[in-house]
Amino acid sequence: MKLVILAAGKGKRMGESSNHTPKPILKYKGKTLIHHKLEQLPADIDEIIIVIGHLGEKIVEAIGHSYDNSQNGGSIIPITYIEQKEQLGSAHSLWQAKDIIGNNPFLVIMGDDLYSKEDLEEMVAKHKDNNESWVALVEKREKHIPYGKCILDEEGYLIDFRDDPHFNISENLMYTGACILTPEVFDLPMVKVNPTEYGLPHTFIQEQRHNLSNTDRKNVHVVYTRYWKRITTPEDLLN
């Protein structure tokens, strides 16, 4: 399985640091955010693709062109870099890696957020055990989520994302940006979430919205995260 790390964004909410350091190589507890992610890789990963953009050459310099995953039961993993020349959202970022991904299933994670090895391994297992279905990592939250709330069907599959400003949906599930997909996703049109960005989750969920009665559709299974740390402001790097 290939790993795609979406690391092209500028990270505007990180303040002054975003002008000289790309967010994915800011340090948390003495290591860059990307190194934290690499340490959590499942053994199944045999190639890493990093989509870079803002100050991307600094990410290449910091990470290099291979990663030794022997501590996780793997081997030396080659790293390929692809440039997203325009910052047009997460779907557009992934689409830059389309030709390199080829016919392989792939794990997608965000370049700034932190994940756990246990969650990523569970995602891989669920993908394998369910006929290479798609998988999304979600977090159960006690606090109300007004926008982009995950909606599951009666069988527990992820079928939609909905805004809920009036608290009408009782379950608060948030998508973490981590998913396992297969190349069929590239047959779908990218979906705009605002005038300048195409969203990856809104793109892959089309399969559920439009093919509810299609037995060949790619069901989106759900894994509930044990650990997910969002890095959105400088304060998030301090605790």
Tell me the pLDDT band of 35, cut-offs 50, 70 and 90. Answer: very high
Strands (E), 170-212: 173-181, 191-194, 197-199
**For residue 16, pLDDT beyond 70:** no
Q: Where are the domains of the chain?
A: 2-237
Question: To the nearest whole number, what is the mean pLDDT of the chain?
Answer: 91
The predicted model gives 35-47 an average pLDDT of 93
Assess whether pLDDT exceeds 90 at residue 58: yes
The pLDDT value recorded for residue 206 is 87
The alpha carbon dihedral of 149, 181, 22, 239 has a sign of positive
Are 145 and 174 within 8 A, CB to CB? yes
Strands annotated E in 148-224: 149-152, 158-162, 173-181, 191-194, 197-199, 220-224
Structure confidence at residue 149 as a pLDDT band (50, 70, 90): very high
Is the separation of the CB atoms in 16 and 10 below 8 Å? no
State the average pLDDT over residues 70-91: 90
Taking 60 as the threshold, does the pLDDT of residue 51 lie above it? yes
| Contact call for residues 59 and 92 (beta carbons, < 8 A) | no
pLDDT at 209: 61
Specify the pLDDT at position 14: 67
- The CA–CA distances, whole Å, from 170 to 114, 139, 145, 156, 209 equal 27, 14, 10, 15, 21
Q: Which two tokens stand for residue 2?
A: 């290939």
Distance CA 36, CA 113 (A): 10
Instruction: Report residue 69's pLDDT band, with 50, 70 and 90 as the boundaries.
Output: confident
Q: Is the confidence at residue 189, as pLDDT, over 90? A: yes
CB 145 within 8 A of CB 172: yes
Is domain 2-237 annotated with CATH 3.90.550.10? yes
Cα separations (Å) of 234 from 24, 116, 123, 230?
13, 21, 29, 11
Q: By 3-state DSSP, what share of the chain in percent is helix, strand and coil, each rounded to 5?
A: 30, 30, 40
Judged against a pLDDT cut of 80, whether residue 216 lies above it is answered with: no
DSSP H or E run through 27: strand 27-28
Could you tell me which of 92, 72, 75, 73 has the C-alpha nearest to residue 83? 92
**Mean pLDDT confidence for 214-231:** 86
